[in-house]
Amino acid sequence: MQHVHHRACHLCEAICGLKITVEAGKVMQIKGDPEDPLSRGHICPKAIALKDLHEDKDRLRFPVRKIIDKTGVVSWQEIGWDEALKETALALVKANNTYGVDSIGAYFGNPSVHNYGMLTHQNNLFRFFKTKNRFSATSVDQLPHHLVSMWMFGHKSLFPIPDIDRTDYFLMLGANPLASNGSMWTVPDVKKRIKSLKNRGGKLIVIDPRKTETAKIATEHFFIKPGTDAILLASLLRTLIVELNADGRQLKSLIQGLDKVKIHLGEFRPESVETITGIDASNIRRLAEELYEAPAAICYGRMGVSTQRHGTLCQWLIQLINVVTGNLDKSGGSLFTLPAVDQVPNTRPGGFGRHLSRVRGLPEFDNELPASTLADEILTPGIGQVKTLFTGAGNPVLSTPNGSKLDQALEKLDFMVSLDFYINETTRHADIILPPTSPLEHDHYDLAFHINSIRNTARFNEPVFEKPLGALHDWEIFTRLGELVAKELGLEPRPTFSPSELIDASLKNGPYGTGRKENLSLETLRQHPSGVDLGPLKTMLPERLLNPNKKIICDTNEPIEALSKLSSEFNEPSESSLYLIGRRHVRSNNSWMHNFRRLVKGKNRCTLLMHPDDIKKRDLTDGNTVRVTSRVKSIDVSVEKCLEIMPGTVSLPHGYGHTRKDIQLSVAETTAGASCNDITDERYLDKLSGNAALNGVLVSVENI
């Protein structure tokens, strides 16, 4: 007999609603849920791959221990949970007692925020090990967004969300939502939303070094030289404030420090930046005028502007543009969400620079150090050297700068444990791997992405399959490790509640909970498996601001100082210079979707896109293998002629490079590709935050 289960896809930020048909313990069909108020029946190819993940023969079902024989041959021995957890707990306690708490490092990857058990229960273990050496994918991704939100609005998670369904004008930089389904912006079915924007007479303007899938359906696309977005944004802001007298309109009484920003904008006349950016002064002025004159407008930037040398400055300037045009906290502009489980008033606002990394002096943010210095902290002797490492749902060898250096560093650890499904490029270094249940074997509530959503909704879904006998959920792994550590330290374990119990309490105490008309609880959501619509985003200022004075703070010292130095940091590049940028594909998400055959089949996607003029200038041949070299390393990859990329720019996708020995990813190895992060530079960082600068890396390309 067939059964239909409701589910939210957790494989990207769009959290599309699904209907999964199951028969005799097998997934028979996965379709979009038309009753989901957010995704409206839309799904992308990734959702279909949930079947592949659940049934993948390479996915670990039980803990394994690494065995290395006398000849160096690696094998993996399946062991019981009691043994695996006790050995892990003892290793963590030993490192703490022998070398100090900072000898324990932790890295959590992108999938951690797609699974609420990882978020709710990490502290069951790490409350005992308050190490300064915590790292995550945040600092290879969205750290600039968090930092700017903390500076301007008072909390790391107060993100202004583009209200695309009601806007008239959308200026988008370094983002490709047709491939990503939105990023720091939960926007399923974005292609239809863009079409609706244009049909009602609105405009989408895309600025990107490549004519992306999104740029192809935009009203206009402008090429920009990689890494110069901050110069362009500063020029747009200057034009708005100095030439158009933009002052925030209805927000004026809430703005603090705009005059201090204005002092440093004098050097950014459009005529002075057109050669640097590659965008004509007349177009810069026109874009500023259109932003200012539109009834409702949005300025938004994502990975292309976040993960570059001036990523934090870019995000700060973007929000200042939204502020001075009066489009922050405005229907059709950018608005704050009010999610059913509202973490903003109940979590720390964040902190910056309270301690620095031991080796390179890089600043922490929210008690995490930049991932680009993890290898340094392992390789450099001294007090606080990382000797033991815990990784959770992450593959930093492929996803952080100079992955080859980290790959070598992991070999030097005394002990490593990974909470992961797979033996991949990172976890192959682990002594023990602890695999949690499949996503379809546990319940699901999305904690992370409702706060980025274009509409306030909530949904909870029960497991599609029962937990297999002998398996553990990730939250149970953290709980049991915490209990074992407490016992070793002579402490009492604390009471543990399941993630669903925590969500139920949060729903009842949240903005739509007990005593409100929605009366939300877990039981309410169980009765509505397609989700509950809580309405469009609304104006929420000044109440939503977390700054003590309820102001939008524009004059934080760090970005002001960076702005004052910005124009002096750009020199005219030579004609032979090539700058590397990344790219996204709708069938992929970082390094964790290459072992699903239906997502990797077809044409090779791990190619180096290059303009025909650059190919000709270097006497290369389309389709041949070339050598790409940066400061840190060289990789070999097939070059692909592309008229849709700016001359002087080359593009390579992220997450490939499944060529290292002793991994067990049978599908990924057949389409291994090359890792772009073997040539990104761990010393090329966002100067303000320490976030990785993956875009704008200087490279050379030559025949082999």
Q: What is the pLDDT of residues 159-180, one digit of tens each?
A: 999 999 999 999 999 999 999 9
State yes or no: pLDDT of 296 exceeds 70.
Answer: yes
The conformational region for residue 519 under phi > 0 = left, psi -120 to 50 = alpha, else beta, is left
Residues 6 or more apart from 216 whose CB is under 8 A from it? none
Instruction: Kindly list the distances between the CA atom of residue 216 and the CA atoms of 194, 626, 649, in Å, as whole numbers in the listed order.
Output: 12, 28, 18
Buried-exposed string 665-691: b where 16+ CB fall within 10 A, e elsewhere: bebbeebbbbbbbbbbbbebbbbbbbb
Categorize the per-residue pLDDT at 624 as very low, low, confident or very high, splitting at 50, 70 and 90.
Answer: very high
Nearest to 689 by CA among 295, 226, 142, 301: 142
Residues 6+ apart with CB under 8 A from 262: 241, 242
Angle at 501 between CA 497 and CA 507, to 5 degrees: 140
Contacts with 625 (C-beta within 8 Å, 6 or more apart), sequence order: 636, 637, 638, 639, 704
Q: What radius of gyration, in Å, describes the C-alpha atoms of the chain?
A: 25
Q: How far apart are CA 572 and CA 123, in angstroms?
A: 49
- Provide the pLDDT for residue 38: 96
Alpha-carbon distance of 302 to 172, in angstroms, equals 8
Residue 476: half-sphere exposure toward Cβ, Cα within 13 Å: 12
**Residue 186 main-chain phi, psi, to 5 deg:** -80, 105
The whole-angstrom separation of Cα 665 and Cα 655 is 13
At what angle are helices 229-238 and 557-566 packed, to 10 degrees? 100
Does 201 have pLDDT greater than 90? Answer: yes
- What values do phi and psi take at 390, rounded to 5? -110, 120
Q: What tokens appear for 461 in the block?
A: 């879904």
What is the biggest distance separating any 2 CA atoms in the chain, rounded to whole angstroms?
74
φ/ψ of 431, rounded to 5, equals -80, -35
Closest of 606, 611, 594, 668 to residue 645, by C-alpha: 611
Q: Where does 93-187 show beta strands of DSSP type E?
A: 104-108, 134-136, 161-162, 169-173
Q: Are the CB atoms for 9 and 16 separated by under 8 Å?
A: yes
Question: What is the mean pLDDT of the segment spanning 58-75?
Answer: 95
Instruction: Give the DSSP H or E segment for 141.
Output: none
- Exposed / middle / buried, residue 75 (Cβ in 10 Å: 0-12, 13-18, 19+): exposed
Whether the model clears a pTM of 0.95, i.e. scores above it, the answer is yes
For residues 441-460, average pLDDT = 96
Give the CA distances from residue 24 to residues 28, 57, 281, in Å, rounded to whole numbers and listed in that order: 9, 18, 64
Strand partners, 207: 173, 222
Q: Rounded to an integer, what distance in angstroms lies between the CA atom of residue 363 and that of residue 381?
A: 20
Asked if the model's pLDDT at residue 570 lies above 90, the reply is: no
Q: At what angle do helices 311-324 and 557-566 cross, to 10 degrees?
A: 100
List CB contacts of 333: < 8 A, sequence separation 6 or more: 163, 167, 296, 297, 298, 322, 325, 326, 327
Q: How far is CA 179 from CA 87, 227, 583, 602, in A?
A: 42, 21, 9, 17
Q: How many CA atoms lie within 13 A of 688 on its CB side?
A: 30
Tokens of 451: 């706060």
Residue 544, CA distances (Å) to 1, 406, 506, 549, 598 in order:
49, 41, 18, 12, 43
Q: Are 668 and 591 in contact (CB under 8 A)?
A: no
C-beta separation of 534 from 458 below 8 A: yes
**DSSP 3-state assignment of 77?**
strand
- Judge whether residue 588 has pLDDT over 90: no
Residue 135 has pLDDT above 70, yes or no: yes
- DSSP secondary-structure letter at 645? B
Tell me the pLDDT band of 494, cut-offs 50, 70 and 90.
confident
Long-range contacts, 346-352 (Cβ 8 Å, 24+): 346/506, 347/155, 347/157, 348/156, 349/150, 349/154, 349/155, 349/156, 349/546, 350/146, 350/147, 350/150, 350/155, 350/156, 352/147, 352/150, 352/689
Please give the helix or strand (H or E) that residue 228 lies within, else none: none
Percent of the chain residues past pLDDT 90, beyond the cut = 95
CA atoms within 13 A on the CB side of 632: 17
Other C-beta atoms lying within 10 Å of the C-beta of residue 84: 24
* Predicted pLDDT of residue 517: 95
Mean pLDDT computed over every residue of the chain: 96
> Rounded to an integer, what distance in angstroms lies between the CA atom of residue 406 and that of residue 203?
44
Both tokens assigned to 240: 């708005």
Per-residue pLDDT, 537: 98
Give me the amino acid identity at 243: E
**At residue 572, does pLDDT exceed 80?**
no
Beta bridge partners of 221: 206
Angle 143-153/311-324 helices, nearest 10 degrees? 40
Which tokens sit at 107? 């890295």
| pLDDT of the residue at 574 | 66
Contact 589, 179 (CB under 8 A): no
Which neighbouring-strand residues pair with 703? 626
One-letter amino acid of 444: H
pLDDT tens digits, one per residue of 327-368: 999 999 999 999 999 999 989 999 999 999 999 999 999 999
Q: Tell me the β-bridge partners of 161.
A: 335
Residue 395 near residue 411 (C-beta atoms within 8 A)? no
> Positive or negative, the Cα torsion across 402, 407, 408, 409?
positive
Neighbour tally for 520: CB within 10 Å? 25
| 564 three-class SS | helix
Sketch out the chain's domains with CATH numbers: 143-339+541-566 (3.40.228.10), 573-703 (2.40.40.20)
> What is the 3-state secondary structure of 19-47?
EEEEECCEEEEEEECCCCCCCCCCCCHHH
Q: What is the pLDDT, as a whole number, of residue 439?
A: 95
Query: pLDDT grade, residue 592 (50/70/90)?
Result: confident
Q: Is the pLDDT of residue 430 over 80?
A: yes
Structure-token match 């620095």, residue found? 356
Residues 204 and 194 sit within 8 Å (Cβ to Cβ): yes
Q: Label residue 577 by pLDDT band (50, 70, 90).
A: confident
In the three-class reduction of DSSP (H, G, I as helix; E, B as strand; rest coil), residue 334 is classed as strand
Q: 78: helix, coil or strand?
A: strand
